[in-house]
Structure 1
Amino acid sequence: MTDLTLGVLAFVALFGLMIFRTPVAFAMLIVGYFGMALQGGFRTAGAVLVTETYSSVTNYSLIVVPMFVLLGNVASAAGFSRGLYDAAYAWVGRFRGGLASASVLGCAAFSAVSGSSVATAVTIGKVALPEMRRLGYADGLSTGSIAAGGTLGFLIPPSTGFVLYAILTEESIGRLFMAGILPGLLMTALFMAAVWLTVLRKPEAGRPGDPMAFSDRLRILSAALPLIAVMVLSIGGIYAGVFTPVEASAIGAGLVILIALATGALTLKTFTGAVLETVQTSAMLYMIVIGANVLNPLLAVTKLPVAFSDLLTVLGFGPYGTLFLILMCYVVLGMFLDGLAMLVITLPIFFPIVLQQGFDPIWFGVVAVIVIEMGMITPPVGLNVFVIRSVARDVPMATIFKGVAPFLLAMILCLLLIICFPQIALLLPNSMFG
């Protein structure tokens, strides 16, 4: 058996294991270990397993994951997510479709402390869905806006997607965080435009909320300012070079815990629950990184990425034709796999090709994350759709998928704008200090 044949069979085995619902981390571990055993013997496979596991868990940059996850979990447990949604509602709720727009803004704000698409969708969904139902919003608009808004958690820093991308490609976490800010704001604006167009076409889908005095709006906004200040301090500090992403994550988590304790919003029980949830999420992410690092040496020795790159060169699609094929692969995979699984499985294959075609690796990270976001709301899997379905149990899946359609078009438009104008993603990281 040639090395290339072994590499192809390894990928077939990997997808086979995932079809049988093997967790992606363990699927990569199994394929990587036994693939290396077939290629170089069990002694070599054991050495790879030990060294890659150790180097993964001792990677200093990965501390970003548990710290930012803890920040988001504490903010959610303390009820700060409600404050973010209330602040958004106070300023845009009085417009037609305003609660759906407030949900999008709330998702964007909570994304800046959570870094998780699912956590964002669940947290804002529990707060916003009852309000939209009270005002008679159409089920498609209410569930679709939150399912789509939740995807912002994968793009707006501190995104776990960017952290994994940085670890797997050895790029700067800080630069990737900065690269996600303007695209995240653009995506938020386009989502709000999708809400506006939806209610313009069907005014009964989302009637205006109750009017609110200017003084009341300022009061509600001021209640959310401490958490907003933590976001600005953490991300702004990275941009200014005052501290690293790891330091920013620890400072952010510490400040949110102190604010929660000072306001009496956090009890020992809720804090313990937040810590346990953080441990579970972090353990899952660490296992994915370990699995990817055990699989990558097998891909390197079988030269599968090189063979795939040579094939695309022979086909002569050119840089943007090649990029189009890669993005189509992500779209197809997004119908069956979650975002983190797609990143760790595809990056060893696609990243060398992207570099060979002359694309900026930071820019491609943003493009890849946006396409992966699209997979979170497309059938048949649509992870965020299933999450919202668990919150709104009486809403049919078909209604939610129909509701996200305008937002999916907004994501496609955002993607096209970033491909045509790369500076949307590169302006902030290229102007960073430190």
Structure 2
Amino acid sequence: MSPIFVGTIGIVCMFLLMILRTPVAFAMLIVGFFGLWMLNGIWAAGAVLLTESYAAVSAYSLIVIPMFVLLGNVASAAGFSRGLYEAAFAWIGRFRGGLASASVIGCAAFSAVCGSSVATAVTIGKVALPEMRRRGYADGLSTGAIAAGGTLGFLIPPSTAFVIYAILTEESIGRLFMAGILPGLLMTALFIAAVLVVVSLNPAAGPRGEAVPFGRRIAVLGQAMPLVAVIVLSIGGIYIGAFTPVEASGIGAALVILLAVARRAISLAAFRQAVFDTVKTSAMLYMIVIGANVLNPFLAVTHIPTALGEGLATLGLGPYGSLAVIILTYIVLGMFLDGLAMLVVTIPIVFPVIVQNGFDPIWFGVVVVIVIEMSMITPPVGLNVFVVKGVAEDVPLTTIFRGILPFLLAMLTGLLLIILFPDIALLIPNTMFN
């Protein structure tokens, strides 16, 4: 059998394993190991399994995963997310659709702490959804804003997706973090614009809230500032070159823990649970990295990425035509696969094609993360939709998906702008590192 045929069978088997609910990490591990066994023999497969597993878990750069996850878990357990939302609510809640916009801003701010889409949607959803429903907001707008806003956790640094992408492609984590800042702000602005469009078409969907006195607004903002300062210090420290992403993650986690203790905002039991959740999440992500590191050599041996690039070149689509095909493929896959799973499975296949077509790999990292963000709110999988459904159990899924449509259009607009104007993603990293 030819290597390409074996590789194709392996990819099909991997998707079948995922459909059968095999964890993504083990699906990649199984296919990578047995595929190498078939092509190069058991000794070569065993050597790759041992060396790549050790190389993956011993990588210094991976420390950012448990540190930033711990930062987010402690911030969530300490209730800091409520402070971020209340600050946004105090300043813009009096406007029509203001609570939905405040939810988006709260999601963006909390994303800069935790780096997880699901955690952002759950944490802000528990705070914001009851408040919006109490004030008469339409279910579609309120749930759609939370589900879409939660996806910002995948884009705004510290993003777990960027860490995994960096490891898979051997790109700089720091450059990817910096590349996510302006696109993250752009997406936040577009989501708020989507809220304004919805309430302008249907004012009853987002009624005005009462005005908050200026003194109270200042006080609430002051309560949220320590956490904002941690965010600025962590991300800003990377930008000015004061410390590396790994150092930033440790400093951020330590500061949030000290802040929670100083404010007596977290109990020993809650802190213990945050650490336990961090260990579980980190172990899952490390296993995914191990699985990807075993799968990648198998895909390289099969020459599938090379064949894919040659096939696209034969079609004569050109660089942007090839990019369009890849994006459409991601959108289709996103209807059935989890975002992180899609990232680790597809990047080893499409990344060589992207480099071959002359695209900047940092820019493509932002593009692919945005497309994966879209998959998190599209049917039938739409992970963030089901997360929000868990918070608002009595809201039908069809209502949530309808509410997401304006935000999905906003994401498409943002994606198009970043494709047309790559400097939106590349300005900060190029300014910082060049």
Which band: TM-score by shorter chain? over 0.9
For 2:163 and 2:310, the matched residues in 1 are separated by: 29
For 1:281 and 1:332, the matched residues in 2 are separated by: 27
- AA aligned to 1:364 is F
Shift of 1:40: 1.6
- AA aligned to 1:383 is L
- AA aligned to 2:389 is R
- AA aligned to 1:83 is G
Q: Is the 8 A contact 1:241 1:433 kept in 2?
A: no
Q: Secondary structure at the match of 1:305?
A: helix
Q: Is the 8 A contact 1:97 1:205 kept in 2?
A: yes
Shift of 1:267: 1.1
For 1:38 and 1:358, the matched residues in 2 are separated by: 34
TM-score relative to the length of structure 2: 0.99
For 1:192 and 1:73, the matched residues in 2 are separated by: 26
Give 1:405's aligned residue. 405
Alignment of 1:275-424 (within 5 A): 275-424=275-424
Give 1:240's aligned residue. 240
- AA aligned to 1:98 is G
Q: Is the 8 A contact 1:104 1:149 kept in 2?
A: yes
Give 2:194's aligned residue. 194
Q: Secondary structure at the match of 2:50?
A: helix
For 1:102 and 1:321, the matched residues in 2 are separated by: 38
Alignment of 1:53-202 (within 5 A): 53-202=53-202
Shift of 1:263: 0.5
Give 2:40's aligned residue. 40
Give 1:205's aligned residue. 205
Shift of 1:433: 5.0
Determine if the alignment matches structure 1 residue 215 to structure 2 residue 215: yes
C-alpha RMSD of matched pairs (Å): 0.7
**Unaligned stretches of 5+ residues in structure 1:** none
Shift of 1:33: 0.8
For 1:433 and 1:301, the matched residues in 2 are separated by: 34
For 1:220 and 1:3, the matched residues in 2 are separated by: 62
Q: Is the 8 A contact 1:107 1:121 kept in 2?
A: yes
Shift of 1:209: 1.2
Determine if the alignment matches structure 1 residue 25 to structure 2 residue 30: no
For 1:369 and 1:302, the matched residues in 2 are separated by: 26
For 1:42 and 1:80, the matched residues in 2 are separated by: 51
Cα deviation 1:314-365 (Å, max 9, x = unaligned): 1110000000000001000100111111111111111010011110000000
- AA aligned to 2:77 is A
Q: Secondary structure at the match of 1:431?
A: helix
TM-score relative to the length of structure 1: 0.99
- AA aligned to 2:91 is W
Cα deviation 1:18-76 (Å, max 9, x = unaligned): 11111110000010111111112212111111111000000110100100000000000
Q: Secondary structure at the match of 1:287?
A: helix
For 2:280 and 2:333, the matched residues in 1 are separated by: 26
For 2:244 and 2:209, the matched residues in 1 are separated by: 42
For 2:385 and 2:425, the matched residues in 1 are separated by: 27
- Alignment length, in residue pairs? 434
Determine if the alignment matches structure 1 residue 257 to structure 2 residue 274: no
Any runs of at least 4 consecutive aligned residues in structure 1 with deviations exceeding 4 A, and if so which?
Answer: none
Shift of 1:303: 0.7
For 1:278 and 1:235, the matched residues in 2 are separated by: 21
Give 1:432's aligned residue. 432
Shift of 1:425: 0.4
Cα deviation 1:161-218 (Å, max 9, x = unaligned): 0000000000000000000000000000000000011011110111111211111100
Cα deviation 1:274-295 (Å, max 9, x = unaligned): 0001011111100000000001
Shift of 1:110: 0.1
Q: Secondary structure at the match of 2:432?
A: coil
Give 2:273's aligned residue. 273
Q: Is the 8 A contact 1:240 1:433 kept in 2?
A: no
Q: Secondary structure at the match of 1:265?
A: coil
Q: Secondary structure at the match of 1:432?
A: helix
Give 1:3's aligned residue. 3
For 1:263 and 1:15, the matched residues in 2 are separated by: 47
For 1:125 and 1:247, the matched residues in 2 are separated by: 30
